[in-house]
Structure 1
Amino acid sequence: MIALSIPSVAAAQSAPSTAPGANPIIRDKFTADPAPLVVGDRLYLYVGHDEAQRDEMFNMREWLVYSTEDMKHWTDHGPILNVAGFKWAKKDAWASQAIQKNGKFWFYAAVEHDDKHPGKAIAVAVSDTPTGPFVDAKGSALITNDMTPKGTHSWEDIDPTVFTDDDGTTWISWGNRQCYIAKLKPNMIEIDGPITEITPPHFEEGPWLHKRGALYYLTYASLDRSKHRDEKVSYATAPSIKGPWTYRGELTGSGKYSFTIHPGIAEFKGSSYIFLHNAALTIGELNGAIGRRAVTVERLRYNADGTMKPVVQTDAGVSAAPSR
């Protein structure tokens, strides 16, 4: 197991603390769109690999996975899948999430479809282990842009989040500007029933579904375009996965130097965590940018009524002692 850090002046300048658990948690690569998955006594973290050079906006071709037993030391398991593994897709290994079900690991990710279905699409891959290798589970897209005809633009079908409810039913939610939800069939590679729009206030992208106690949570990257330039994280709650969803306000501010932000939430060994990204990392001659982001993590706490306490993004991350 290794603590992911590089002893360069540039990296040290971008992360004031190099203590295990300090942010950013991955320092030798630019990473984004964190998606945690707990399997036994390990937490696996799936991320996109930002490879933009100089003035490029986004250059993402593969997904990576890391794991930890203590939230402070991370093991690099390398790439698990390249966008070329979906032969019907032409580029863009964008945000993803993995889930365990039926003895397998299912990986849902946003890609750019080829010209047969122009626009962004949701792919699904499968593996026998959380570290892959993952292979295309369907041979075609799970969700294409023409399946959400009321949307406003061609990149609305991105950022999948998957969640299995107490009755064993798995749901998928996704979107940009519009937020959608649908049930998955037990085979995990087909939609079962209608696609429903559940767009909460200021929804931009990056939804994340989870449940705690009797409450369902929809956490997402939000943008009030009348007031702000950069995304923040907001959330809504509901008594059922089918709603109604009640807007609860902002959970975090913007990520440092970053237009985008992307939440991923997990409970691990008795504590709750929220993963995010910013653009505060420097590697060599490359500074953080819209297409060169860095994954971070903070502790997540709840109020007695189930609402989440506001999260302050820090350099110390989970290296600092938890506050009471």
Structure 2
Amino acid sequence: MKRNLSLALACSVALVSCGAPSLVWSAGPEPVIVNRGNPIIRDRFTADPAPLVVGDTLYLYTGHDQAQGDAMFDMREWLVFSTKDMKTWTPHAPIMKATDFKWATRDAWASQAIEKNGKFYFYAAVSHDDSHPGMAIGVAVSDSPTGPFTDARGSALITNQMTPEGTHSWEDIDPTVFTDHDGVTWIAWGNRDCYIAKLKANMTELDGPIRKITPPHYEEGPWLHKRGGLYYLTYASLDRKTQSAEHVSYATATSLDGPWTYRGELTGSAKNSFTIHPGIAQFKGRSYIFLHNATLTVGDQGGAVGRRAVTVEYLQYNPDGTMKPVVQTEAGVSVPPPPAH
């Protein structure tokens, strides 16, 4: 009886929204989100997407926007969703709260997870307590990509005082992590300036100096990846003279030590959203870019600066390794990709 009721509810949701992207919950043992377009997740607000591919599964880590009314940001925890086909998504339990870092006070901001040495390491931006005022980056660890994650250090990996050239307390945010072919893992981060450093093999300590690699119009949200022999630094950009919202731009290099060559804009701004945040993955022979916008309405709460929703688009490359401009759409990857030229 319960299964039949669930099926009926799922069917009714699909029928009501026939012809438009929608959220459908399956009648199986676990709820499954069926991707019918952008945004992907439609029962809650999500932001700052960070994909991780493990075997035949793509895990998508997000922040959880919970701002009410005119509030800007209220982000208390991180979520994870998984897919094997980019069509159906399984939501998992929240993996961690900001205050699970005992030295943190709030603000579960952008994050990224990476697999190494048989474990999963999760790097995230939070507000530090008064012992190190400002935003900081912590690292947590788990035996599973779906957590739960626990603080791997008992202290912040990066604090605001470690980048003294910055002029504001929230410059140490938005970590991205990448393991190169030699096994060395790097971390990049930053608001208004982009910083990069190596991580020790234990993944919980920096290995050497912090360097600044800020490309043109850099604002925040860096993402490191590699394709062939080329490294990519993709980021939320803002030309403060001409733009009123962030776009996505990128730079490339033949070494993580640089120099980095600016390649221009990859996307325009996100609909209804000042912020945008790229996350890139290659999965089962195709490349994808995850973003967010503010087009979703949940109950009586519409999209806003603190109520965003994750989207995904196909990502394609030119023969010279540059990335083709990405147009943000409602259909997303619910339709076949455009032909490669």
How far does residue 12 in structure 1 lie from its aligned partner after superposition? Answer: 5.7
Equivalent of 1:125, from 126, 132, 140? 140
Matched ranges for 1:190-209 at <5 A: 190-209=205-224
> Percent identity between the aligned chains?
73
Say yes or no: does 1:279 pair with 2:283: no
Shift of 1:192: 0.5
Go from structure 1 to structure 2 and tell me whether the alpha carbon gap of 1:262 and 1:7 turns closer, same or farther (over 3 Å shift).
Answer: farther
1:17 aligned to which of 18, 21, 27: 21
Equivalent residue number for residue 307 of structure 2: 292
In the other structure, the counterpart of 1:115 is 130
d(CA) in 2 for partners of 1:12, 1:91: 37
Looking at CA atoms only, which structure, 1 or 2, has the larger radius of gyration?
2
Q: Is the 8 A contact 1:206 1:263 kept in 2?
A: yes
Residues 1:311 and 2:326 aligned together: yes
Is the partner of 1:209 in helix, strand or coil? strand
Q: CA deviation at 1:320?
A: 1.0
Shift of 1:16: 3.9
Alignment-derived partner of residue 26 in structure 2: none
Contact preservation (8 Å) 1:24, 1:294: yes
Q: Deviations over 1:48-79 (max 9, x none)?
A: 00000011100000000000011111000120
Q: Distance in 1 between matches of 2:142 and 2:312?
A: 26
TM-score of the pair, normalised by structure 1 = 0.96
The structure whose RCO (Cα within 8 Å, separation 6+) is larger is 1
Q: What is the aligned counterpart of 1:134 among 131, 135, 149? A: 149
Deviations 1:109-150 (A, max 9, x none): 000000000000000000000000100000000000000001
Tell me the C-alpha RMSD between the 2 structures: 1.8
2:46 corresponds to 1:39: no
1:241 maps to amino acid: L
- In structure 2, the partner of 1:173 is 188
Distance in 1 (alpha carbons) for counterparts of 2:36 and 2:313: 9
Matched, 1:263 2:278: yes
Instruction: Specify the alignment match of 2:25 in structure 1.
Output: none
Letter in 1 for 2:166: G
Cα pair 2:35 2:88 within 8 Å, conserved: yes
Asked whether the equivalents of residues 16 and 315 of structure 1 are also in contact (C-alpha less than 8 Å), the reply is: no
Matched, 1:146 2:161: yes
Given the two structures, how large is their TM-score scaled by the length of structure 2?
A: 0.91
Q: Is the 8 A contact 2:50 2:60 kept in 1?
A: yes
Query: Following TM superposition, by how much is the alpha carbon of 1:8 offset from its aligned partner in structure 2, in angstroms?
Result: 7.3
Question: 1:174·1:180 contact (CA, 8 Å) conserved in 2?
Answer: yes
CA distance in 2 between counterparts of 1:241 and 1:96 reads 20
